[in-house]
Structure 1
Amino acid sequence: MISDRQNIKNIRAASRLMVRELGFMNQNLAATDYPPSAVHSLLEVEAQGSVTAAQLVQILGLEKSSVSRMLAKLVEAGELEENTSADDARTKLLSLTGKGKETVQNINAYADQRVAAALDKLDLFTQCTVSQGLSSYSRALRACRENTEEKLQSSFKIVTGYHAGMIGRITEMHGSYYAREHNFGHFFEAKVAAGLANFSARLDKPCNQIWLAMVNDRIVGSVAIDGEDLGNNEAHLRWFILDDGCRGSGLGRKLIEEAMRFCDERSFSSVQLWTFNKLTAARRLYESFGFELSKEWEGDQWGSTITEQQFTRQNAV
């Protein structure tokens, strides 16, 4: 998994590159004669229809004096006009003039072309990832500036049952993560695929269920409850995995919540899961739902010798 420090370095490097490639280092922006702050002001006025200088100060995050000087220049250039608000004679509203609308139209055409050209070099999934990631990151930056404590949530959904491509995608997430982090090989990946294939054929049984976390219709997480392979009315929690970019997002907890709710509703006597001793973050999550370490031994069921663990959650129902 990429460390927090590496994430920071990667995002900073990408931000510097974007600033350069989008032209923010230049004296003017988007094929205009205006600096970035003026271009942004024109775009925000267009988006709002009309706006006060004070509102632009808040939107742009600039000093009041800087915004006032910049707006005065745009009014003088004939891009903006200032009118008295119909609701409050003390309030002055800024709106685009005819010239301003033409300028914004040219800015949008130029920017759309730049973005479209860049996206054309990416596959469709990466395009969606970039769109969602940039939107989330920009909102997070604004929340930091505004000192908002609320944690921003990603737009994801959790679905149940078989979905086309599910076996391959869950196997891929397991294979990639465990090969990179724990040197598991083809034996482990093949075992995951075979187990999922067998389980998928049994999803019509009411004691079996799988939950898939989806972002932009792509599976980014999973967990399953197998209610028949252990017998004795015991449930088996299986195939809990998250895509690399979703770890630490709280999505894993939501998946486990759904699985535990299902187990409680089905009144299983207990829930069992098998893992190994190096997955400390997962262990803390399991323990927060009432799982306790019930057995520990040296084993090789995943293709290499490790300290395997069994955790048990007794059903209170």
Structure 2
Amino acid sequence: MTTHPALVEEIRSASRTMVRELGFMRATLAATDYSPSAVHALLEIEAHLALTAAQLVQLLDLDKSSVSRMVAKLIKAGELVESADSDGRVKRLQLTKQGRRTVAAIHAYGRTQVQTALEHLNPSQQQAVAQGLAAYAHALNAHRTGEGKAPGNPVEISAGYRPGVVGRVTEMHAAFYARHSGFGQFFESKVASGIAEFVGRLDQPCNNLWVATMNDRIVGSIAIDGQDLGNNQAHLRWFILDDGCRGGGVGRQLLREAVEFCDRFGFEAIELATFKGLDAARRLYEAAGFELTHEHQGSQWGSVVTEQQFTRRRGGASHPVKL
């Protein structure tokens, strides 16, 4: 896969800024008297409860002599204690009581750094930072160690009503379509009233709602309304993702849940309404068997857009009309 050079340079520039702002250019780190590598060693030993010097070499990607000198200094400073196993061949490093206090102070310092920075971002940006940094960190590690793909998606998918879903689904729609299509108050009000009315009908077996959550925050949604179209047709509605989750497979998971629900229920067709230009969403729809069946220009949402209808028929392809 080819990565655009401008994106590479943007990430490199951001990485240099982070290194400076987090203090890694200084001789000591996290308000301690220790180097960045020593601070990382203490944190890894705390996380693993005990480590050998050889394991630290692998974890920190440092040479053996550097780790040996660093460990000797930390033992002399009273932060670590070294103990041998029963046959005396393996020596494990553990934190002393002083070391545990030092690590607690490092954690407090680090949390304050992160919390203070995150206060300058909105919740969606915070989620994007958390997800993006985790994926990038894993990718860097995978390149060095030869490991495989990134770990499983931290996003959870659940069905049914969830407190806050009406407001959050409305917020995601309003924010996205204000940027993409210039929609304003009228569109947001329509979304709010529509989703509020729909959740009151979730007790009907033909209706369902799925939300994606990350750290207990709703970051995506999709719904199947089995009542409003009639003729044994399902209406796919309120399919939206938070900016931080786009491109991570969450949309595909949500769409799969909705389509499989419709197939189990026995709907003859699924219809959805969307707008031209949402290419990533269109690729998902078409991969799931939807076809474009109608499009026209409209201004009912506050600006002129090309409205589109996609249809997925049970047991076979749709038959799109000529546009």
TM-score by length of 2: 0.82
- Maintained 8 Å contact 2:219/2:242: yes
Q: Distance in 2 between matches of 1:30 and 1:167?
A: 42
- Maintained 8 Å contact 2:30/2:110: no
Determine the structure 2 residue equivalent to 1:168.
167
Q: Displacement of 1:94 after TM fit?
A: 3.5
Q: Displacement of 1:253 after TM fit?
A: 0.7
Determine the structure 1 residue equivalent to 2:179.
180
Which whole-Å deviations, capped at 9, do the CAs of 1:39-91 have from their partners, x for residues lacking one?
222333344343222211111122334323433444565654555443x6544
- Check if 1:229 corresponds to 2:225: no
Matching of residues 237-252 of structure 1 within 5 Å: 237-252=236-251
- Maintained 8 Å contact 1:46/1:95: yes
Aligned residue identity for 2:144: R
Determine the structure 2 residue equivalent to 1:313.
312
Secondary structure in 2 aligned to 1:210? strand
Q: Distance in 1 between matches of 2:21 and 2:115?
A: 14
Determine the structure 2 residue equivalent to 1:303.
302
Matching of residues 39-118 of structure 1 within 5 Å: 39-75=39-75, 79-80=79-80, 82-86=82-86, 90-96=89-95, 98=96, 101-113=97-109, 115-116=111-112
Determine the structure 2 residue equivalent to 1:293.
292
- Name the CA shift for 1:33/1:168 in 2 (closer, same or farther; >3 Å): closer
Gaps of 5+ in 2: 317-323
- Maintained 8 Å contact 1:128/1:216: no
Determine the structure 1 residue equivalent to 2:321.
none
- Maintained 8 Å contact 2:157/2:213: yes
Which whole-Å deviations, capped at 9, do the CAs of 1:275-307 have from their partners, x for residues lacking one?
122111100000000001112222234333222
Aligned residue identity for 2:292: L
Q: Displacement of 1:13 after TM fit?
A: 5.8
- Name the CA shift for 1:188/1:228 in 2 (closer, same or farther; >3 Å): same
Determine the structure 1 residue equivalent to 2:268.
269
Matching of residues 109-128 of structure 1 within 5 Å: 109-113=105-109, 115-116=111-112, 119=115, 122=119
Which whole-Å deviations, capped at 9, do the CAs of 1:115-140 have from their partners, x for residues lacking one?
247637849x9598499545555444
Of the structure 1 ranges 18-27 and 229-238, higher mean CA displacement relative to structure 2 is found in 18-27
Q: Displacement of 1:193 after TM fit?
A: 1.7
Of the structure 1 ranges 42-51 and 182-191, higher mean CA displacement relative to structure 2 is found in 42-51
Aligned residue identity for 1:182: S
Give the superposed CA RMSD.
3.3
Gaps of 5+ in 1: none
- Maintained 8 Å contact 2:160/2:209: yes
Q: Distance in 2 between matches of 1:20 and 1:315?
A: 56
Secondary structure in 2 aligned to 1:205? coil
TM-score by length of 1: 0.83
- Maintained 8 Å contact 1:31/1:107: no
- Name the CA shift for 1:32/1:242 in 2 (closer, same or farther; >3 Å): closer
Aligned residues: 311
Q: Distance in 2 between matches of 1:238 and 1:39?
A: 50
Q: State, as a whole percentage, how many aligned pairs show the same letter.
A: 54
